[in-house]
């Protein structure tokens, strides 16, 4: 398990709750995001992701609980905190009658004075420099999404909050945005908090994650830690098959589920994956393929107990 005790907590929510009428959209959320994380907030549609993000960005007032960003209470020091935070909530909407450049100039200057070079630089980062002076109404959804990231980057915030940043994008657009997120985290050392219901996306970019369902937090930690807590099913191709099955049945941490067509399906207790491979090789079993069925999707479906609408 990764030791996070030394890492600075950039965002902390304590008992964060929001009620709409009688329904709790978020209930007693205790989330910690550490500096440098690409923290993914995962949950099915309607789980409370957007509500939580809206509270973190002061669009919704919490019913209870508190939010600290950089160790400062958000609602008591809103200006100071939000000077270092930026984000996109749901889809990136802009002033369609203004150019990309003018949109960024207006939005950026609400935080601090921005120079023309800075605007052009972020437009370059997201690949929109050549369209800088065109009206946003001529942009595709993907271009608006990239412009949304550009406005989030413009004032060089320490924490970027992105609500479903790849929603509505085509596969190429999704890949570009994912690449950009990774680049921001690694090259610019920004902390990124993003929500998504796309599990494949989370696996590709996240370092840590939290899972929310029906407004309640049901898991939180590094992606690998969360997945390693559960037994994992493997599909292996070995030779000779019969000897391998005989050997595997002797192991207390392995359960052989089936064996057919030269392939063995088995379930392995957490933390024994590499040991299994070594064991087979040392017993002169040739391992032709070793394929884990452990996926974030399995984990997610298991802990949300089939309530997911993804």
Partner 1 sequence: MKLFWLETYKTFSRWRTYISFGFIALIVIMTEVVMKLSADEILYRMMRSFQKDFLIFGNVLNGWFITAFIMNSLHIHIPFFITLVAGDIVSSEATAGTMRLLLIRPPSRSKIITAKYLTTLFYTTGLVIFLALICITLGLLLFGHGDLMMNYQSKLRIVFIPEAEVPLRMLLAFTAAVWSMTVVASLAFLFSTLAENSIGPIIGTMAVVIVFLVLGNFPFDFFRMLSPYLFTTYMIFWQRFLDDPIPWQEIARSALILGLHNIGLFSIAFVVFTRKDIKS
The smaller minimum CB distance to partner 1, of residues 104 and 280, is found at 104
> Encoding tokens for residue 175?
């890949």
Closest CB to partner 1 among 47 and 264? Answer: 47
**Min CB(91)–partner 1 separation in Å:** 7
Residue ranges that bind partner 1, judged by CB under 8 A: 54, 57-61, 78-80, 82-83, 85-87, 89-98, 102, 106-107, 109-111, 151
Cβ proximity of 15 and 29 under 8 Å: yes
Q: Which residue lies nearer to partner 1 by CB, 149 or 236? A: 149
CA angle in degrees (0–180, nearest 5) for 159-165-168? 170
Q: How far is the CB of 105 from partner 1 (least distance, A)?
A: 9
Which structure tokens are listed for 50? Answer: 């957007």
- Shortest Cβ 155–partner 1 spacing (Å): 9
| Residue 144 near residue 121 (C-beta atoms within 8 A) | no
Which residue do the tokens 């412009």 mark? 147
State which residue, 35 or 102, has the beta carbon closest to partner 1: 102
Alpha-carbon distance of 176 to 166, in angstroms, equals: 9
Q: How far is the CB of 47 from partner 1 (least distance, A)?
A: 16
Instruction: Pick between residue 67 and residue 82 the one whose CB is nearest to partner 1.
Output: 82
Q: Give me the least distance between CB of 271 and partner 1, in Å please.
A: 42
Residue 295 phi/psi, 5-degree rounding, is -135, 160
Least Å distance, CB 51 to partner 1, is: 9
Q: 65 and 30 in contact (C-beta within 8 Å)?
A: no
**Packing angle, helices 141-154 and 100-108, rounded to 10:** 30
Beta carbon of residue 169, minimum distance to partner 1 (angstroms, whole number): 17
CB of 147 or CB of 236, closer to partner 1: 147
Q: Which CB sits closer to partner 1, 34 or 54? A: 54
Please state, in angstroms and rounded to a whole number, the distance separating the CA atoms of residues 42 and 296: 11
Confirm if 230 and 293 have CB atoms less than 8 A apart. Answer: no
DSSP result, 272-296 = -HHHHHHHHHHTT-EEEEEEE---H
């Amino acid at each position: 398990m990764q030791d996070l005790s030394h890492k600075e907590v950039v965002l902390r929510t304590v008992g964060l709750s929001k009620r709409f009428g009688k329904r709790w959209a978020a209930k007693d959320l205790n989330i910690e995001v550490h500096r440098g994380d690409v923290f993914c907030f995962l949950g099915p549609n309607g789980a409370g992701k957007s509500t939580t993000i809206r509270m973190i960005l002061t669009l919704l007032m919490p019913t209870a609980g508190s939010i600290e960003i950089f160790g400062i209470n958000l609602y008591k020091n809103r200006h100071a905190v939000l000077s270092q935070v930026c984000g996109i909530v749901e889809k990136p909407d802009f002033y369609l009658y203004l150019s990309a450049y003018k949109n960024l100039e207006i939005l950026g200057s609400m935080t601090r004075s921005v120079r023309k070079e800075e605007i052009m630089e972020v437009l370059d980062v997201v690949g929109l420099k050549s369209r800088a002076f065109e009206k946003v109404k001529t942009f595709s959804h993907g271009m608006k999404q990239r412009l949304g990231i550009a406005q989030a980057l413009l004032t060089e915030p320490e924490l970027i909050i992105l609500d479903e940043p790849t929603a509505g994008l085509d596969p190429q657009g999704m890949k570009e945005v994912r690449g950009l997120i990774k680049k921001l985290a690694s090259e610019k050392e920004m902390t990124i908090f993003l929500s998504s219901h796309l599990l494949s996306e989370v696996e590709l970019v996240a370092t840590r994650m939290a899972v929310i369902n029906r407004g309640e937090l049901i898991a939180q930690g590094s992606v690998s830690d969360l997945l390693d807590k559960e037994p994992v099913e493997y599909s292996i191709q070995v030779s000779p098959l019969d000897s391998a099955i005989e050997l595997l049945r002797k192991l207390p941490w392995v359960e052989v589920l089936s064996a057919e067509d030269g392939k063995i399906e088995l379930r392995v207790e957490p933390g024994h994956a590499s040991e299994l491979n070594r064991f087979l090789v040392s017993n002169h079993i040739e391992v032709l393929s070793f394929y884990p069925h452990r996926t974030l999707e399995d984990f997610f479906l298991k802990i949300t107990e089939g309530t997911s609408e993804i």
